[in-house]
Amino acid sequence: MKYIICILLGLSGGLVVGGGLVAFFTLLGVISNILKFTKTEIYPKVGELSVLIGALVASVLYLFEIKLHINRYFLVFLGLLAGIFIGIVASALAETLDVMPVVADRLNIIRWVYIGVFAIMFGKVFFSIIYWLTLGFSH
Amino acid sequence: MNGNEEVYFQFKSSPQIDIGKPVYLKDIAHISCSDALRFNIENIQILPQMFNKSYAVKAVDITQLIRDNMENITVNLLGKENVLIDPKLKEKHSIMTIFTIVMASLLLFIGAGLAIMYFHEDVNMHETHRDIYELVTGTKENRPLIISIPYSLGLGLGIAIFFDVFSLDKKRSKPGPLEIEVYKYNKDIEDYKLSIYDEK
């Protein structure tokens, strides 16, 4: 009986978290953005499946504490992809709040709004690297 | 004047009006009429010298103005029924503009940097990077910079992809998300002002 309740709890919890994850990415248009950039919009199923398999594999690897023993330079590739994804999520999230149009309009420089993109881009990269080199791994 | 002349007009979607100049009909509307009438109609004055104040101009008023100026004329409206006149100073490239741009860039630069640091602290990104390092290589590493530095560079690349900055100089087929946002923002402000000034 105990086990049945545990299984039910885990299943429903996973269902909610998984649904939430996909709903979040879809709402922000992350998946469609990546498909658009790689010009693979004609295969939307690929995007869906990738997110599904990715989430599944990651949770299995994480929960069962599996060690893969791959060459460490593979991490460069992995880190780059992770960064691109977080970058897209972060800018999609910021844009739902209209930060840049509002700032540019208030300061009357709406024609120069793309300078803001570059400022944010370099700001994020610069401060991120500073963070990792100094504070990031100190605790 | 012989018979009944027809005049059609259509408001421009976003008329460009300079502060300090009177507004003529040709500034705010496209007009279709016979050539004999064109000059007279186009130079009907709608408003005297503009100050820094917005007006909503209604189609009824325009119709009345044209009928006052000419006889035996039928005025027809095409499209939306009112337009917002939002006079602006001609944009100058002064030191001040450059200063504002630099300040705004600095604001966004530091703000974005702080936001990403807060985010990393918030989601325990350092632990995650250590976990990923251990997961892939099988050994522990306290400072897995081999994943963190590419991650940071990827962050910038992701933002570049989102705002589509690679095709900024080229003429692109689709507008970027930022252009859409700016357009929507301006549209909202215009709609709001129209609804406010409509009563006056």
Pick the closest to residue A47 from A78, A83, A17, A22 (CA basis): A22
Q: pLDDT value at position A83?
A: 92
Cβ distance A109 to B135 less than 8 Å, yes or no, reads: no
Cβ distance A107 to B100 less than 8 Å, yes or no, reads: yes
Residues in chain A closer than 8 A to B186 (CB atoms): 105, 110
Provide the residue-wise pLDDT of chain B in tens; the chain has 200 residues. 455 778 888 888 777 777 777 777 777 788 887 777 777 777 777 777 666 677 777 778 778 877 777 777 787 888 777 777 776 666 666 788 888 888 888 988 999 899 899 988 888 888 888 888 888 888 888 888 888 899 999 999 988 888 877 766 665 666 777 778 788 888 888 888 777 766 55
Residues in chain A closer than 8 A to B113 (CB atoms): 123-124, 126-128, 130
* Separation CA B189–CA B194 (nearest Å): 9
- Amino acid, res. A61: L
Sequence-ordered strand ranges (E) for chain B: 5-11, 23-24, 29-32, 45-47, 55-58, 73-78, 82-85
- Determine the residue of chain A that is closest to B169 in CA distance: A114
Q: pLDDT value at position A99?
A: 77
Pick the closest to residue B132 from A68, A81, A14, A50 (CA basis): A68
Residue of A128, A129, A138 to mutate, interface with B, max B Cβ within 10 Å: A128
Residues in chain B closer than 8 A to A60 (CB atoms): none
Identity of the residue in A67, A87, A108 whose CB atom sits nearest the CB atom of B134: A67
**ipTM for this model:** 0.79
Per the confidence metrics, is the pTM higher than 0.90? no
Cβ distance A76 to B182 less than 8 Å, yes or no, reads: no
Task: Retrieve residue A78's tokens.
Answer: 């992995």
Identity of the residue in A72, A108, A132 whose CB atom sits nearest the CB atom of B148: A132
